[in-house]
Amino acid sequence: MKHRLATGYLILVFILLYAPIIFLMVYAFSQGETMTNFHGFTWRHYQTLFSDTRMLAIVANTLLIALLSALIATLIGTLGALSITRTTRRVTRDSLLTLNNVLMVSPDVIIGASFLIFFTMLKIPLGFGTVLLSHIAFEIPIVVLMVLPRLREMSTSLLDAAQDLGATTRQLLTHVVIPFISPGIFAGFFMALTYSLDDFAVTFFVTGNGFSTLSVEIYSRARQGINLEINALSGVMFLFSLLLVAGYYWIQQAGHKRRRRKREVTS
């Protein structure tokens, strides 16, 4: 009885979680113009979407910003994590971690508004550059947080052993440390990617007039009312998200497997 109640509750919650998403995607195939009654199947909205050059350009911009910012943020974040772990004094390390997390907990509007002031003061024109810089900025802390645990797991004896066997500092970094923390780096990269794709508020503040990302575009179109082209877009984006999630878990699994295999070889 209790079991049934729990199952029923979970089913309700999952319906609540997925109904709007499925609703959105189903209407992408409706012949009508609104999300009220389904008027029969059509690919028309997808055709509109794929011939909408403005939208396609924005998709390209969004992907470019996401990939570029995630790459740079991963690089800086990994270096940051290495530096944080290397600090000797506990106080320094704790303060660095606190500062690192400021952007993680700050509301988006605060980040957006403060970056807007920052760019305006430095007289940097708003557009692609400011959006890219902002994305890099708010992605760095998540990369640090994903890399740090792996660094922490790395035992001192592992490094001692490598040095004992004659590894130089550079070799230690490239042959031992980086391979060991690579799952964390990958995870950080993926998280950075999703943060970038997901962001609306920060971009909205620093984007100016000439440049737009998907989130901002959806916002301005949604304010004008229902447009089933957006539904079609949501279908495409959902598929893309699924691929990202699958890719992320595949990499994590592969990492696990590789590590397991390595352990089998060494033991």
CB-wise, 10 or 60, nearer to other proteins? 10
**C-beta closer to other proteins: residue 225 or 265:** 225
Asked if residue 36 lies in contact with residue 54, where contact means CB atoms within 8 angstroms, the answer is: no
| Residue with smaller CB distance to other proteins, 222 or 254 | 222
Q: Which is nearer to other proteins, 38 or 43 (CB)?
A: 38
Q: Write down the least CB distance from residue 123 to other proteins, Å.
A: 14
Minimum distance of other proteins from residue 245's CB (angstroms):
6
**What does the block give as tokens for 256?**
């696990």
Measured at the alpha carbon of residue 95, what is the angle toward residues 94 and 97, in degrees to the nearest 5? 65
Q: Considering the complex, what minimum distance in angstroms separates the CB of residue 241 from other proteins?
A: 4
| Closest distance of CB 30 from other proteins, Å | 11
Structure token pair of residue 64:
């470019």
For residues 25 and 14, what is the distance between their CA atoms, to the nearest angstrom? 17
Residue 49 vs 136, nearer CB to other proteins = 136
Question: Minimum distance between the CB of residue 267 and other proteins, rounded to whole angstroms?
Answer: 19
By residue count, the chain amounts to 267
Question: Taking the alpha carbons of 60, 63, 66, 72 in that order, is the dihedral positive or negative?
Answer: negative
What is d(CA 75, CA 118) in angstroms, rounded to the nearest whole number? 23
